Chain A
Amino acid sequence: DQQVKQNSPSLSVQEGRISILNCDYTNSMFDYFLWYKKYPAEGPTFLISISSIKDKNEDGRFTVFLNKSAKHLSLHIVPSQPGDSAVYFCAASGGSNYKLTFGKGTLLTVNP
């Protein structure tokens, strides 16, 4: 039972264009969502998060959108840079529970 789903295993975009990574969840108890970036042989790096009381959060080139009714969130990267090439994980938690439930990740490749 996969509660957090990233249905696109990979995404390829041109440098300077927008990258949109998608994530769906099924557990209605989730109320906090995070995106992580991961390079091979390294731990995940925290990028941006959003609480369920908001529908948008921005940090520089990264924006996360949350659609609670659709149980869907997306990460927008604008403009995309070659250094953004990595695996991106969506994660969710509920209430005061520290536990993160992760999706399987999306490999983003930004071509120069």
Chain B
Amino acid sequence: DAGVTQSPTHLIKTRGQQVTLRCSPISGHKSVSWYQQVLGQGPQFIFQYYEKEERGRGNFPDRFSARQFPNYSSELNVNALLLGDSALYLCASSRWTGTGGYEQYFGPGTRLTVT
């Protein structure tokens, strides 16, 4: 089975521009989460969607938005890019383990560089 896929792999944008990142979850997974990872830190939670509805939002500005489509794929949009938005953006899809929690499986990430 295919894992979580993300596109594009790398992206270079200029300050002030807008960017859209895409994610397809593992087949059968209905939840998608987005994380931002900067160098030297663990991934930071941005959004979680389940069945096309936003279930959670991290401490990120309104410049960040996301949506989930009927096929459970998702897009993350970032407007008015800042240099500090340069990071690895990770998408994860989740499955219920039946033993008390959700296991999240990550895609390879999109490396965004803002110049």
Contact = CB atoms under 8 A, between A and B. Distances in A.
Interface of A: 4, 31-32, 34, 36, 41-46, 49, 51-54, 89, 91, 93, 97-105
29 contacts: A31-B100, A31-B101, A32-B101, A32-B102, A34-B104, A36-B106, A41-B111, A42-B108, A43-B90, A43-B107, A43-B108, A45-B106, A51-B97, A51-B99, A52-B100, A53-B100, A89-B42, A93-B101, A93-B102, A97-B56, A98-B33, A98-B55, A98-B56, A98-B94, A100-B33, A100-B45, A100-B104, A102-B42, A105-B42
A34 B102 CA distance: 9
Contacts, number: 76
Contact of B109 (A4, A43, A54, A101): A43
B113 to A, nearest CB: 13
Interface residues of B, number: 32
Contacts of A101: 45
Main secondary structure of the interface of B (DSSP, over half): strand
Interface of B: 4, 6, 31, 33, 35, 40-45, 48, 50, 55-56, 58, 90, 92, 94, 97, 99-109, 111
B104 A98 contact: yes
A52 B111 CA distance: 34
A59 B9 CA distance: 31
A26 to B, nearest CB: 15
Contacts of A54: 99
Contacts of B58: 99
